[in-house]
Amino acid sequence: MFFIRQLLLFLTISFLFTNVTLASTLLVMGDSLSAAYNLRQEAGWVSLLKNQLSKDNREIKVINASVSGETSQGGLSRFGPLLSEYQPSWVILELGANDALRGYPLEQTANNIEQMIEQAHQANASVLLIGNKIPQNYGKRYTDMFFKLYEKIADKYTLAYVPFMLEGVALNKSLMQDDGLHPNKDGQPFVLQNILPHLQPLLDEHKGH
């Protein structure tokens, strides 16, 4: 009888442990574009992503570590501890726009992003890199170089890559806030639709392992 009780206890613990580990984690590292700037959190594209994953019956925990105003350097300084704490299977990396808006050297931004990618890979996490654009008033040469920076990094590390998360949104005033930089509530679903086609293959790839 004692043996049976011990066996049942072992099976129960094993079942609970298995169900706990079924839920993989997706970590979002971004700035105000991913932090639902000036909106309720549930209106932001990351929260909409959580809802979509739940509808798709994907056992994925989404951690939004995005911070408004964040630079690539700030993200890099926080990234290691977040990797250790959450041990994500996937990382969505959306940083760098604030670097460009402040005129930081592009080499510095690229180096910070690359360090985060390498740390994620060392932690066995797949990375989706999200590119961005800045207003043309910063000069065509600088804005073009900034936009191409993400493509170069994606090619270097063979990453899944979203060239511009605000495609079809940024120039539509009805989808943007008055500052012209951040999507409003109506624009957030369109942002998610720009990201999902690049994210879903990564999720499916992990599922097949």
Contact status, residue 62 vs residue 50, Cβ threshold 8 Å: yes
Catalytic residue among 31, 32, 34, 198: 32
Q: What is the DSSP letter of 88?
A: -
Alpha helices, H only, 36-105 = 45-55, 72-86, 97-101
Catalytic residue among 72, 99, 182, 198: 182
Rounded distance between C-alpha atoms, residue 203 and residue 152, angstroms? 23
Catalytic residue among 174, 178, 179, 209: 179
Q: Which residues, at least 6 apart from 85, have a Cβ–Cβ distance to it below 8 Å?
A: none
Whether 32 is a known active-site residue: answer yes
Rounded distance between C-alpha atoms, residue 192 and residue 56, angstroms? 15
Rounded distance between C-alpha atoms, residue 29 and residue 66, angstroms? 5
What is the b/e burial string over 17-55, where b = at least 16 CB atoms within 10 angstroms of the residue's CB? eeeeeeebbbbbbbbbbbbbbebeeebbbbbbbbebbee
Query: What positions carry a catalytic annotation?
Result: 32, 179, 182
